[in-house]
Amino acid sequence: MLIIPVIDLSHGLVVHAKQGLRKSYQPITSVIAATADPLTVVTSFLELYPFRIIYIADLDAIQKTGSHSELILELASQYQQCEFWLDAGIEAIKEKKSEYSADNIKFILGSENKLPEHEFTSLIKNKADLILSLDFNEQGLIENPYLLENSSLWPEQIIAMSLSQVGSNNGVDVLQLNNVLSLAANKIVYAAGGIRNTDDLLQLKSTSVKGVLLATALHNGAITKDELKVFLDE
């Protein structure tokens, strides 16, 4: 099972994502990184383990208040051994030549972006390597209910993103995740939101998820370097 560390960028810093309440996000405090500087945080992640994939959310781009494209391209260039999964909002995907383009960057299409079904289908058709993030809050899927009504529309890779659980220390929303898995058929599913410790990782490993996204449990030391190595080396 893949473990994918996450960084959320806002105003040049890595911030602590909590329950999708973006206006209240604050710079992270971390037992593994001395500062909230993005380069420091990525380096700290890779000192814990040589992760194959790192997920980045450019919150400024998502909220259309700015962009971290230069920083993200610098990270992609410096750490070419990593694949970066990037959520930079819908416009970065629609652009013919994205400002974030690099060989080791793959784009995330968040379902929180309201899209007519025909437009969604066109995006998936034209960008075969898009990864769909099914974004849930406490009321369910945030937008585009047709995505749960017809999972044949989904691309090959799916993230079950429980935003209400992110950074909450409340554990994984197992019912929601199981619903996505039941719809996924032969799709590859990753879980995100609420992972607290290695017990949660082992619980997810017993399902058919391909991997997990996490950040808080790494920054607060709930999952240590030794635990991570044992888990990933199994």
pLDDT single digits (tens) 181-222: 999 988 999 999 889 999 999 899 889 999 999 999 999 999
Residue 60 near residue 11 (C-beta atoms within 8 A): yes
* This prediction's pTM: 0.92
Q: What pLDDT is attached to residue 20?
A: 54
Specify the pLDDT at position 15: 93
Q: What is the pLDDT of residue 32?
A: 95
The pLDDT tens digits for 80-111 are 999 999 999 998 888 766 788 899 999 999 99
Q: Which amino acid type is present at position 111?
A: S
**Residue 170 above 80 pLDDT?**
no
At 156-168, the pLDDT tens digits run: 999 999 877 775 6
Q: What is the mean pLDDT of the chain?
A: 90
**Domains of the chain, with CATH numbers?**
2-232 (3.20.20.70)
State yes or no: pLDDT of 151 exceeds 90. Answer: yes
